């Protein structure tokens, strides 16, 4: 498997889908969602991470500080 050494990344690469996934109508960005956010203003917040990457920020993951 190109570029990855660890089992976790090998499994993730083997199962990663490139299909665009949108959260269902009327549902906020939810726990750990990897879905894309519909592009209306209320849903359109994307966290801009330290590396300049965009990502839905408000997930179940992580701690407050």
Beta strand spans in the chain (E): 47-48, 54-55
Supply the minimum distance, in Å, between the C-beta of residue 39 and other proteins.
14
| DSSP, res 38 | P
21 binds other proteins (CB under 8 A): yes
Shortest Cβ distance from residue 20 to other proteins (Å)? 9
User: In terms of Cα–Cα distance, which of 58, 8, 65, 11 is closest to 33?
Assistant: 58
Does 61 participate in binding other proteins (rule CB under 8 A)?
yes
**Residues contributing to the site for other proteins (CB under 8 A):** 1, 3-17, 21-24, 26-35, 42, 45-53, 55, 57-65
């Amino acid at each position: 498997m190109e570029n990855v050494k660890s089992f976790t990344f090998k499994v993730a690469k083997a199962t990663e889908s490139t299909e665009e996934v949108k959260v269902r109508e009327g549902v906020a960005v939810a726990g750990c969602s990897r879905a894309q956010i519909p592009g209306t203003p209320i849903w359109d917040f994307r966290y801009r991470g330290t590396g300049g990457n965009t990502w839905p920020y408000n997930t179940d993951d992580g701690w407050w500080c």
